[in-house]
A and B are shown apart, each in its own frame.
Chain A
């Protein structure tokens, strides 16, 4: 099945490294746990603001957390 968004991310890995649950990350950025889960699974492309907020939680640049494939 084609994923609804081409934006990929390494939030799951970063959460693991920082020992954060989806719920804890959700609380830090003000969304629901289900939204974090949807972002991790590539089912939802977050707003630019939320993407920045998530990156800031991990003290990482946004382009490290989120990726977008180059046009071939």
Chain B
């Protein structure tokens, strides 16, 4: 497994675990509190910050524990990266329309902010899955 493929797996784990934990906490709070009163901002910023820190820490740990001379990315990694990023961009563009629609109908900020975050997460997951499929099945 190439270094870039390991990276993709790492991003997938981070991209799934942290948002799932965030939405689980938020939905739990939404059960007992009106959404307009939920203090979601610190939690949302924390989830984004934690994802960034986790990606950096895991990258360092992977490099220390499993690093080799084959850590470089080559033309195949670049091509797979472009394919994944392109699909992720389409998903992000479409998913952002949901947030735009919420803004246009005057929905609570809670729903708009979380719809944008969900769009980020969905795009990142789809992009990473496309990359992993390309690594495994070829293209």
Q: Is A67 an interface residue (CB 8 A)?
A: no
Task: Tell me the nearest residue of chain A to B80, going by C-beta.
Answer: A44
B68 CB to closest chain A CB, in angstroms? 10
Q: Does B76 count as interface, using CB distance less than 8 angstroms?
A: yes
Give the interface size bracket for A toward B.
Answer: 20 to 34
**In contact, A32 and B2 (Cβ under 8 angstroms):** yes
The distance in angstroms between the C-alpha atoms of A31 and B74, with both chains bound, is 5
Q: Is A8 an interface residue (CB 8 A)?
A: no
B5 contact set on A, CB distance < 8 A: 34
Give the number of residues in B that approach A within 8 Å (Cβ atoms): 13
Residues from chain B with Cβ under 8 Å of A44 in the complex: 76, 138-139
Would B74 and A38 count as touching, CB distance under 8 A? Answer: no
Binary interface encoding of chain A residues 3-44 relative to chain B, with 1 for a CB under 8 A from any of its CBs, else 0: 111000000000000000001001000111111001001111
A50 within 8 A of B: yes
Q: Are A41 and B138 in contact (CB under 8 A)?
A: yes
A42 contacts which of B3, B70, B76, B138 (Cβ < 8 Å)? B138
Residues of B close to A3: CB separation below 8 A:
138
